[in-house]
Amino acid sequence: MRRHVSLLAQYFIQYSKVRLAYRGDFIISVVTTIGATLFGIAVVWLIFKGAPRVAGWTFYEIVFLYGFSLLPMSVFNMLSINLYYFSEIYIVEGKFDRVLLRPVNSLFQILFEQFRLEALGDTVLGLFLIVTCARRIGLELGAGDWLFIAAATVCGCLIYLAIFLLLTCISFWMEDRVGVIPPVYNMLTFGRYPMDIYNPFIKFLLSWVVPFGFATYYPTAAVLKQDEFRIYAWLMPVVTVVFGALSLFVWKRGVRNYSSTGS
């Protein structure tokens, strides 16, 4: 464990040096990322121009949910860049061979060889939205609430990683440059809005099949003191462990199934 923590620090420091060497490009990427997020908030504002509440939620409550969703999402985006391009780069082009030749866990290398540092801008924006909206709705966030938010952020990020790792593993059995990740990635935006606006099938899908709801909606509802959803918040660690264990199991099976391209 100590060795892998040391390697993680070295990976992060070295990649940060390379990425920040092109500061102009990095700054543009940060501004673009934050701009896309602000555009999403503007869409929410437009929706509320015609209605004071949506599914029982006020404007500031939904923006609070939006801000909370940015926390696990931004950390996931920082770590998941290689999962997104895994099929094309590592399987089709045969670069997974060099990963297996190193005396370091293969999944560790895939996750931490690159970092999308500009995604951390959404972390700062998410915290700002949470604090601002909490004041607007009269919600006092104590130490326990912030501890819960931190834990929920970690669990949410792990849920995202588990889901997309499962999708990544399909590449071991089916070589495809595009893969199945992009369409599922687009579903992440569903977790930024209250589940009650969706039909029962979508709610079931986002809760128990692709549990993005446990990464954002249910913990946010618990913080906002909606007791009817509190049980779901406590189920969040269970969902994290179940999908995490499943994804690791499938990854190991996939690695054993991998055959070199010979390139």
Tell whether 121 is covered by a domain.
yes
pLDDT of residue 16: 85
Which residues are bridge partners to 57 per DSSP?
54
| Structural domains in the chain (count) | 1
Task: Locate 162 and state its tokens.
Answer: 């588990």
Q: Which residues contact 186 (CB under 8 A, 6 or more apart)?
A: none
Answer whether residue 243 is part of any domain: yes
User: What amino acid occupies position 12?
Assistant: F
Distance in angstroms (rounded) separating the CA atoms of residues 60 and 52: 10
* 28 Cβ contact partners less than 8 Å away, ≥ 6 residues apart: none
| Alpha helices by DSSP H, the chain | 2-20, 23-49, 59-79, 81-84, 86, 96-101, 106-112, 120-136, 143-169, 181-185, 200-204, 217-223, 230-257
184 in a structural domain? yes
The confidence band for 179, taking pLDDT boundaries of 50, 70 and 90, is: low
Query: What pTM was estimated for this model as a whole?
Result: 0.91
- Structural domain boundaries, residue 214: 2-257
Which pLDDT score, from 0 to 100, does residue 177 have? 58
Reduced to 3 states (helix: H, G, I; strand: E, B; else coil), residue 242 is: helix
In the structure encoding, which two tokens stand for residue 69, read together?
């969703």
Residue 71 lies in a domain: yes
Task: Answer yes or no: is 129 within a domain.
Answer: yes
Nearest-angstrom CA–CA distance, 129 and 133: 6
189 or 263: whose pLDDT is higher?
189
The reported pLDDT for the residue numbered 9 is 87
- Answer whether residue 263 is part of any domain: no
Q: Give the Cα separation of 8 and 3 in Å (integer).
A: 9
Residue 262 included in any domain: no
State the virtual CA torsion across 119, 185, 251, 170 in degrees, nearest 10.
Answer: -140
pLDDT digits (tens, 9 = 90+) for 206-241: 999 999 999 999 999 999 877 777 888 889 999 999
Residue 106 lies in a domain: yes
